[in-house]
Amino acid sequence: MTAAPIAVVGLGGLFPQAPDLDTFQRHIRTRHDASRVAPPGRWVLDPEEAYHPDLAPDTVYSTRACFVENFAFDAAGLNLDADTLRGLDPLYEMVLHVGRQAFADAATDRLDRRRVGVTLAAIALPTDGASAITSDIHGRAFEAALLGPAATRTPRPAPLSSPLNARVTARPASLLAQALGLGGGSCTLDAACASSLVAVKLACDQLNAGRTDAMLAGGVSRPESLYTQMGFCQLRALSPSGVCRPFSADADGLVVGEGAGIVVLKRLDDARRDGDTIYGVIRGIGLSNDIAGSLLAANSEGQLRAMREAYRQASWRPDDIDLIECHGTGTPLGDTVEVESLHALWQQASPPVGWRSGQCAIGSVKSNIGHLLTAAGAAGLIKVLLAVRDRTLPPSANVDSANTSAALDRGQDQTQRPSPFRVQTVAEPWERRSPETPRRAAVSAFGFGGINAHVLIEEEAAPAPAVGARATPMSPTRGRLPRPDASTTPVAIVGMDAHVGRLDSLQAFQEAMLRGDSAIEPWPNTRWRGRDDDARAVWGGQPPSGAYIDAASVPVGAFRVPPNEIPETLPQQWLMLQSVERALTDAGTPGLSDNLRTGVIIGMGLDLNTTNFHHRWALLGLAREWATSLALHLDGPRFDAWVATLRNESGPALTPGRVLGALGNIIA
């Protein structure tokens, strides 16, 4: 890297059918596929009732996914009180479990915990806990309308979901930092499927800037499973067969997984001094965004920029790599574009790269555990680090060497050389090229919206510390590096905009501040679509006052978005587009001179409107209870019609436009 190399010194992971990393590694070696039909009780709909062979509203055309099951969280030893832990979503429990596991795996006794930070990825989608909050509110309203006074006489239990569960993107990293007593700062991000590698990059930046002495980085993905299953069906990205086959001629789509992966990072010199187990050394990380194409279609140009930046940092050539852990989701188009990007990287390298047929192994952990979305990159990274440790090239599942994708055969250049890539289909020893050449690997993660990340990993080649050697205890300032010039260069703010509550422009905001006016107002009565009394009951009284935005308007034709897609998009996305456009205009740069060196970082939170779909799906089971309470005797067609009426009253069905319109990372 252009800065100090970073060592990976601790690993933690919880993956489908793999409660520990030994099981995870064994399943990879044996090509185990963790996919299964949704377990009983996991979905608010019974899988058989949710299934429909064709694409249809409120149904899935596959009931298979990869699940973390039988996970029992133990909070012992964490710096969290009982009130904080009560009713936490499994998302947080996974983060706490895996983070503690990774931290315990590293040499941390001499660390000043005030100089240890956390960067985590978490997807801004409904979780079981967040959906339970909304479902309770809507359920009260429906029961009152249908059952009348009888509903008010029925005792309701206190909400079982913690209010923290509404803060899907705000609390995972900070809660882990609190639990472990870490004071080096925390950040939770959503950069789609590239998220956890972006988190690793930000953690490396913190270490190289000297702000911290160790970092926990990685990702978690534990959204409401039925939501992701419905959503990927609507996007026609889900595998109808329920089998993930990256780089296979039989590939037909992705399979959704869940879990968490976290690594502990230190500067390499510090790790050697402390006697850490060094699983691998990060030599380069490239990030990029696509500048063309659609939000869903992969773009080779953007992928190549990320990969080339990583190799530039490491001063490596593409053919220095022995193993590439690909993004490889099992979607035929996405996998084809990724292979084409790899071929272009090798063919267009300067100076030219020489290779032999199939010299570089490729694969994807998604064939074993499905697509973990914001934790996918962390799973791939940990797979590679374990492979380096065990000196074994790991195989992919659900593909054999005789049935690989045709894209792997299209790597010939003008000299008609065959492709340098082969899909690794069996576990085999990973030999060094020479005694002095360390094993080297790459990990890719490419996300919705064209967010690309590529990480280069090298085996630690330095001799291990002598047995019995003792590292010097670290003082609060020991190991602190002088900050590079870039971090001390003054930064100018050249454009601004604001829309805060009723203050809908920068001018309105400025005038209010100068007058001493406040944008804080009472809770709008229409915030919960006429169900505000029920919302108050769930929140335990009067909701807080705030700077609420009660409505947002979008001019027809704005941002080249078809008018019929505007109602399907969350208001926060339109608000951000409008504010960014006005900030650029304020800066006098509506067009950027070098857009390839311009980044976008946006703060956002989960909009609870995304959880409304859960209640729509839950109405099938609730309708059966209400029919019994009302002594309604409805035959099949009449009952189905009643459920359809209830669902339409609840809100619209999930559609492709609403899936994209609810993705938090799309904002940036």
Just list the catalytic residues: 193, 327, 371
How many helices (H) and strands (E) the chain has is answered by: 21, 15
In 94-108, which positions are buried (b, 16+ CB within 10 angstroms) versus exposed (e)?
bbbbbbbbbbebbbb
Give me the amino acid identity at 113: R
Which segments of 244-399 does DSSP mark as H helices, in order? 268-274, 300-314, 332-347, 366-369, 376-390
Give the pairing of strands 280-289 and 214-221. Answer: unpaired
Which of 332, 330, 336 lies closest to 407, judged by CA? Answer: 336
CA angle 194-319-337, nearest 5°? 45
3-state secondary structure string across 5-16: CEEEEEEEEEEC
Q: Is 602 exposed, middle or buried (0-12, 13-18, 19+ CB in 10 A)?
A: middle
Q: What distance in Å separates the CA atoms of residue 484 and residue 11, rounded to the nearest whole number?
A: 29
Cβ distance 425 to 401 under 8 Å?
A: yes
Cβ distance 535 to 563 under 8 Å?
A: no
Q: Determine the angle formed by the axes of helices 612-629 and 225-234, rounding to 10 degrees.
A: 110
SS3 29: helix
Cβ distance 173 to 656 under 8 Å?
A: no
Q: What distance in Å separates the CA atoms of residue 105 and residue 231, rounded to the nearest whole number?
A: 37
Q: What distance in Å separates the CA atoms of residue 196 and residue 193, rounded to the nearest whole number?
A: 8
Cβ distance 62 to 93 under 8 Å?
A: no
- Residue 73: both structure tokens together: 């969280």
- Residue 63: both structure tokens together: 């009931």
DSSP structural state of residue 558? G
DSSP structural state of residue 79? S
Rounded to an integer, what is the distance from CA 219 to the centroid of its chain?
6
Cβ distance 63 to 38 under 8 Å?
A: yes
Give the pairing of strands 392-393 and 428-429. Answer: antiparallel
Cβ distance 596 to 286 under 8 Å?
A: no
3-state secondary structure string across 620-659: HHHHHHHHHHCCCCCCHHHHHHHHHHHHHHHCCCCCHHHH
Q: What distance in Å separates the CA atoms of residue 180 and residue 200, rounded to the nearest whole number?
A: 19
